[in-house]
Amino acid sequence: MICVFLIVFCFGALPSYPMPQKVDLPVPFLCQAPYGNWSEPWQDACEEAAIIMAMHYLKGSQVDRRSGNQEILSLVEYQEEHYGGHFDLTAAKTSKLVKDYYHYVQADVRHEFTVSDIKEELVKGNVVIAPMAGRLLHNPYYTPPGPAYHYMVFKGYDDSTGVFITNDSGTRRGRDYRYKYQTIFNAIHDWTGSKATINKGRKAIIVFKTS
């Protein structure tokens, strides 16, 4: 009984239907610094890169360095014109940017969720992005000490190894990058307004629904 309680507490109630052991959605990859230039605005373009990957998945289109770089700059320019600058974005403001810029209204923010809930969305074909306390990810390919605030694309999972499959725009090696379930879940924290307290942010994900 204790073991069952721990599973439900950490991972959520078991779904009422069989879950596949592995899901890997065909989400295109984009590094947030497509040409390896990590100065601004690319240094803080993880939100834009995550949004672009999710939107191209929904449209069934690919993105390359040239087109991805231009789309990042267009999103930055839009924010500077309409939001007064290019800032770190909460999940709610990221969802608003998607709706304002792409006129896509099914990018829904959720605050109550489990590992199993994220997996269920992926089974449905929905892509998920999430704000992160990036240094809690311990990705060896980040420039030390890693990004204080970051955004991640969840594109799949693999129960055989206990990992989420992600597109991590924070490194050029981020295509299909695997993170252990608990590692990445623990790192999910919304923007608090200060990089010093990002690991105290509220849990949040944004679900891009396909229907």
pLDDT in tens, 54-91: 999 999 999 999 999 999 999 999 999 999 999 999 99
Say if residues 102 and 119 touch (Cβ distance below 8 Å).
Answer: no
* Confidence category of residue 211, pLDDT binned at 50, 70, 90: confident
Rounded-to-integer distance, Cα 132 and Cα 76, Å: 20
Q: What is the pLDDT of residue 18?
A: 81
Rounded-to-integer distance, Cα 115 and Cα 95, Å: 21
CATH number of 2-208: 3.90.70.10
Of 15 and 137, the structure prediction assigns the larger pLDDT to 137
CB atoms within 10 A of CB 123: 16
Which amino acid type is present at position 83?
Y
pLDDT at 11 over 90: no
pLDDT at 1 over 90: no
Please enumerate in sequence order all residues whose Cβ is within 8 A of that of 208, keeping only pairs 6 or more positions apart, or say none: 54, 55, 57, 58, 98, 104, 106, 107, 126, 127, 128, 129
